[in-house]
Chains A and B, each alone.
Chain A
Amino acid sequence: MKFTILSPTAILGYGFPEGSFQRGLEFCPDLIAVDGGSSDPGPHYLGSGKSFTDRSGVKRDLRIILKAAIPQRIPVVIGTAGGSGARPHLDWTREILHEIAREEELPFTVAVVASDFDKEYLQERLNQGDFVPLEFDGSLNSQTLEETPWVVGQLGVESFLPALESGAQVILAGRAYDPAVFASLPISRGFDKALALHLGKILECAAIAASPGSGSDCALGVLYADSFELIPLNDERNFTTESVAAHSLYEKSDPFHLPGPGGTLDLENCRFRNLGRGRVEVRGTRYLPADSYTLKLEGARRVGYRTISIAGIRDPRMIADLDSILTKVQGRADMILEKEGVGGQVWFHAYGRDGVMGALEPLAKKTIPYEVGLVIDAVAPTQEEANTRCSVIRSTLLHYGYPGRISTAGNLAFPFSPSDLGAGEVYEFSVYHLLEVTKEDLPGLFPFVIETYGGTK
């Protein structure tokens, strides 16, 4: 009894060497699964409905996967479509799939599982106080929920199973709990849930868990009754017990306990063993079912528009006194802007000093740099107001006569003309909560639709 999973790349669109993929196919995989996104690139993409992945990259990856998988009847599961997995991201990926089916004359069926919540349902649950904030005490209320265009729930194994049973050749899912993208099919075939999810947790990053790691190379996992094995598909890299164990740490708060919808993966008794030839065996993972079924919700809302200006500062007197100069300039600018009724706020990113770490920078007060790269970052309710705020701050700072100034012609070195750049919409995560549902609610919350792609031959 074994189940082989080919993971082509860490995020759909990041690419992979075709040689690695071909080598993976030689193992006759039972499933090709790929994660399409992440919340890491920030709130902009979920809020704006755009993908952070490149369209041509996603199309290239999908073309290679489908041209192999469809004729060989290997099921394909794609999770967190279009980078963030909301409705527009799903539609973006559907359009790419249609193009490939047409261009390659490759007909196939797709079960589409959307992960978007109905707003009315969420408003009702919010009113009942059912939202549990995760890791921050958000100020989510009825209005901020309304201002959040899409709220997605991370789909668990339970939401993949009906789509898998439909017999569709491709499953295209919205926002998904990454391990479920890989684990749902083997779990439906009777494989151990803990091992399948743990393997999925590693394979969702493809070769990142290998040594040397890579986000754009394939990896293979083989699931057995009481263990799983990781197999590299490129001579350049190996799996090692250290590289696999270390991956459990990556982007996680607690490496021993990985919570997901319906339960937690427990790695406390996990054992990793080198099998040689770059292969690693894992066993001992446990699954602790939770008392209730909770979904992780994500949403982002627009908080304004941004205009930035980039300028260098080289004068040591100005650099030594930078904080007080910026405070005074901001005060002067605010007087002008308030009179004009211009809203918004400005942030200064002082690169070379504390631009990277901000308040956490231990050296900011201890050393004086010889040069500072300043980014004036204005965020306001409209683009026009952001432009105005940035412009007033920039011009005031350029000519501000700070005490002890010796260079009276200008305080800033601009690398560009125009000096100010409109950076468009600014978003923030507005929903990052847990919501309890019953397993019986799931099919109604996240129904799937079967679609036919390409010609009928």
Chain B
Amino acid sequence: MTSTRKKLTEMARVIRSKNSGPFTLTLDILLQEPKDFYALREKNAFTPELIGGLYGIDPKMVQGIIYFEPAFAVKIVLPRPRPSGSPGDTDVYGAQQHAPLLDLDFQW
């Protein structure tokens, strides 16, 4: 059996980040094909360890990873390093924190 790798950017139609309130960051991955959504869910592809590694944070800090079937989407919830707009914050809307996800690929 040969195994290949499949890029997340080839499977997703949306990869985005946004505030969920001033203290929380949420990452949304919307899959193009239902079969990719089911396969990723089946593999438990998104783990706190994976996300922690991508963002350089303790996996325990990852607050949630939710597979949302109605939209064939995966949601990841992280605490913001600083509250939105507080001194030292870098992204008031939290809309540019998605880039590390773009490099992901999975064993297929």
Contacts and interface: CB of A to CB of B under 8 A. Distances in A.
Q: Do A and B come from one complex?
A: yes
Interface string A244-276: 011011111111100000000001001010000
B22 A44 contact: no
B90 A40 contact: no
Contacts of B79: 135-136
A251 B26 CA distance: 7
Contacts of B14: 246
A253 B20 contact: yes
Contacts of B28: 246, 249-250
Contacts of B26: 249, 251-253
B39 interface: no
Best-buried of A135, A249, A362 by chain B (most CB within 10 Å):
A249
A349 B90 contact: yes
B92 A426 contact: no
Interface string B15-52: 00011111110101010000000000000000000000
Interface in B57-102: 57, 63-64, 66, 68, 70-73, 75, 77, 79, 81-88, 90-93, 96-97, 99-100
Interface of A: 39-44, 134-136, 241-242, 245-246, 248-256, 267, 270, 272, 303-304, 306, 345, 347, 349, 355-362, 377, 379, 426-429, 432
B64 A246 contact: no
Given A349-B90, A429-B84, A255 B57 contact: no
Given A43-B86, A429-B85, 18 more contacts: A39-B21, A40-B92, A43-B84, A134-B21, A136-B79, A249-B30, A249-B71, A254-B75, A255-B70, A267-B70, A345-B87, A349-B90, A355-B90, A360-B56, A362-B54, A377-B88, A429-B83, A432-B22
Interface residues on B, range: 35 or more
Contacts of B56: 359-362
A242 B19 contact: no
Given A242-B72, A356-B91, A359-B56, A428 B23 contact: no
B54 A432 contact: no
Contacts of B63: 253
Contacts of B93: 40-41
7 contacts: A134-B21, A135-B21, A249-B30, A251-B18, A303-B87, A356-B96, A359-B81
Nearest to A282: B70
Given A357-B99, A360-B56, A248 B70 contact: yes
A138 B86 CA distance: 13
Best-buried of B18, B68, B71, B97 by chain A (most CB within 10 Å):
B71
Contact of A255 (B19, B21, B55, B71): B71
Contacts of A304: 87
Contacts of A362: 54-56, 100
B96 to A, nearest CB: 5
A11 to B, nearest CB: 13
A334 B79 CA distance: 31
A303 B87 CA distance: 8
Nearest to B83: A429
B57 to A, nearest CB: 7
Best-buried of B14, B24, B87, B88 by chain A (most CB within 10 Å):
B87
Nearest to B95: A40
Contacts of A134: 21, 23
